[in-house]
C-alpha cells in the first residue's frame, strides 16, 4: 500500500500491491483510478493519474447523492418541491453540477488491503434536503476480489442512491468485442427525454441479455427488436435473483479475462461507452453501474430511494476477476 499526496487528486492508496490484483484508489471522487489484474489494466484510464482531476466522464468515481438522472432536475418530497442543479439539461445527472464524483473525499483509513473515504454533503447541496454523511469502503479480499461498500446517514429525509462508475475494458480497446450477460429478464424503456418512462418491460428470448453474447450481437438483436429510442446501450436492467449467481459477467476473449459482478442493488445501468470522446474513442470502455431504479424519486411504481434519519443506507458491490477457462 502506498499513500501520498498528489496535486488535484488527493491521497493515493494501492490495495493488494504485489498480488495478481492491484487496485488504486484516489481521494478525488473516491475513485478507482486503476484495477490491474496480472499486470493488465482492467479500467479505462488516463496516461497520468493526475489527469483525473479534469476528467469529464466520472471515470471510476463514486456517483451521488443520486446516481443516474432525475427528470427535469426536480422532485417533491413530503409536500415540498426541490429544484436541483441541472448538469445534463434539463436533468440532474449523478447528483448535479458539484456531485460526489468531482469533489475530494477524505481518506479516514488506509492499509495494505483496504481504504475508507468519507464526504459531508450539507443541507441544500445541489438542491437536496438534509445533511448527508457518506462513506465508501474498498476492501481487497484476496482471491482476486474487490469489495465496495457504501454507507450513508442523513438528518432529514432525502433521496440517496450511490454507485461506482468504472469504465471496464478488461484489457481490450473496443467494448463491442467484449461479451456480456446480465442476470435480468426486464428493462426500463426510456422516453425521448432519456429518462425511464415508468414501465418495466419483459424481454423475450430473442432479445434478453441474460446469455453470453458480444456487445455487438446484443446491439444487433435489440436493433432488430426496435427496443431503443436512442442509439447504443444506456439502459437500466432490474435483476431477477438467482442464489449465488453473479448479477452481471463480462468476458474478454482476446485478453483472456472474466469479471463477475455481485451486488445487493435491485438492478444496474448498462452503458456501452458510445458517447465517449476527447482523449477516448467511442466504445473504449463499458459501465456496469449497480444502483436503484433511475428517477425513482419521481416514479411511485419504482423502489423508493428516500433515506430517513432513523435508517442507514448500506449497499455493496463485489468484483471478481479470473482467467478465462
What is the 3-class SS of 62-130, one letter each residue? EECCECCEEHHHEEEECCEEEECCCCECCEEECCCCCCHHHCECEEEEECCCEEEEEEEECCCHHHCCC
* Pairwise CA distance, residues 58 & 33, whole Å: 10
Q: Which three cell numbers stand for residue 214?
A: 458480444
DSSP string of 241-292?
A: P-TT--SEEEEETTTTEEEEEEESSSEEEEE--TT--TTS-TTS-EEEEEES
Residues 6+ apart with CB under 8 A from 79: none
Give me the active site residues, please: 165, 289
Amino acid at each position: 500500500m502506498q499513500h501520498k499526496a498528489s496535486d488535484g487528486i488527493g491521497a493515493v492508496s494501492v490495495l493488494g500491491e504485489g498480488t495478481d490484483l492491484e487496485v488504486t484508489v484516489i481521494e478525488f471522487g473516491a475513485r478507482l483510478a486503476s484495477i490491474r489484474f496480472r499486470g493488465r489494466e482492467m479500467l479505462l484510464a488516463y496516461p497520468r493519474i493526475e489527469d483525473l482531476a479534469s476528467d469529464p466522464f466520472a471515470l471510476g468515481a463514486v456517483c451521488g447523492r443520486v446516481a443516474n438522472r432525475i427528470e427535469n432536475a426536480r422532485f417533491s418530497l413530503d409536500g415540498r418541491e426541490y429544484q436541483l442543479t441541472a448538469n445534463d439539461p434539463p436533468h440532474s445527472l449523478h447528483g448535479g453540477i458539484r456531485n460526489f464524483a468531482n469533489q475530494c473525499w477524505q481518506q479516514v483509513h488506509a492499509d495494505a488491503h483496504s481504504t475508507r473515504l468519507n464526504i459531508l454533503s450539507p443541507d441544500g447541496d445541489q438542491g437536496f434536503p438534509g445533511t448527508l454523511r457518506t462513506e465508501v469502503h474498498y476492501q481487497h479480499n484476496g482471491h482476486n476480489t474487490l469489495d465496495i461498500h457504501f454507507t450513508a446517514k442523513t438528518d432529514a429525509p432525502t433521496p440517496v442512491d450511490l454507485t461506482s462508475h468504472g469504465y471496464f475494458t478488461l484489457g481490450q480497446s473496443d467494448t463491442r468485442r467484449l461479451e456480456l450477460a446480465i442476470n435480468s429478464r426486464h428493462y426500463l424503456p426510456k422516453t425521448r427525454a432519456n429518462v425511464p418512462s415508468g414501465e418495466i418491460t419483459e424481454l423475450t428470448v430473442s432479445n434478453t441479455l441474460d446469455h453470453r453474447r458480444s456487445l455487438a450481437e446484443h446491439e444487433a438483436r435489440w436493433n432488430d427488436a426496435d427496443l431503443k429510442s436512442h442509439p447504443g446501450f444506456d439502459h437500466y436492467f432490474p435483476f431477477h435473483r438467482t442464489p449465488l449467481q453473479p448479477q452481471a459477467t463480462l468476458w474478454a476473449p482476446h485478453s483472456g479475462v472474466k469479471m463477475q459482478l455481485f451486488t445487493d442493488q435491485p438492478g444496474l445501468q448498462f452503458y456501452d461507452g458510445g458517447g465517449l470522446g476527447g482523449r477516448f474513442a467511442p466504445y473504449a470502455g463499458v459501465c456496469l453501474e449497480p444502483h436503484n431504479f433511475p428517477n425513482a424519486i419521481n416514479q411511485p411504481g419504482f423502489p423508493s430511494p428516500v433515506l430517513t434519519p432513523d435508517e442507514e443506507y448500506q449497499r455493496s458491490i463485489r468484483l471478481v476477476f479470473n482467467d478465462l477457462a
